Amino acid sequence: MPTRKGPDGRRAHLVPVGGRPARRPGAREAAPSSPPGGAPPRRLWAGRPFPVRVVNAARGVWLAYRTEPNLRFHVFAATAALALAHVTATGGWRLAYLLASVSLVLAAELANTAVERAVDLASRQQPDPVARAAKDVAAGVVLVATVHALAAGWLVFVEPVGPVGLLRLVLGYSTAHPVPAAFLGALVALTGAVGLLAGKGQG
């Protein structure tokens, strides 16, 4: 690199017009410096094996089930709806529609729980109109999904045979198949009992 003497007698390197000094042959170029603030934060689940992620997700579902009474009620209602689908021999697109509606409600409730936790953390549980609006909108998602599920239940169970016909189907199944009917009833009751016990343990 060319040099010249300055006013003080010291030699100074000349910088080309481009503003970047020329490299010496064989010299390595310096690595670019890190952006201000350091490296970006690493994701929480980055690099974790897939089974570990599944376990973490299942733990999140169980946490929401223990702490949210609305989710426990929706699980109870979903169990009752699926038991009724078995009793009425619901299949085909009606069963698929019912399963999709149930899954939508549960997913909306889980998302609502996540939003509530994040808002509480960000606002430190202090009164804030923006935080309240976020919670209200998230709860509105659950409300829309629940209304849709109720409409789906009506279309799947009541619309084909009517309320009286549905009652006859349930009574007829209980008479013709007492053991499976008792098992389904016990399963629904067990789901409700687990929900109550989980709520008491959390309280």
Give the helix/strand (H/E) hosting 150. Answer: helix 129-153
109 a catalytic residue: yes
Residue with tokens 């974790």: 48
Task: Please report, in range form, the residues annotated as the binding site for substrate.
Answer: 109
Strand partners, 122: none
Task: Please report, in range form, the residues annotated as the binding site.
Answer: 68, 109, 116, 135-136
- Cα-based distances in Å from 99 to 30, 59, 125, 153, 168: 59, 23, 36, 10, 23
Q: Which amino acid is at 25?
A: P
Please give the Cα distance from 92 to 88 (Å, whole number).
13
Task: Please report, in range form, the residues annotated as the binding site for a divalent metal cation.
Answer: 68, 116
Q: Which amino acid is at 137?
A: V
The one catalytic residue among 65, 87, 109, 131: 109
Catalytic sites, residue numbers: 109
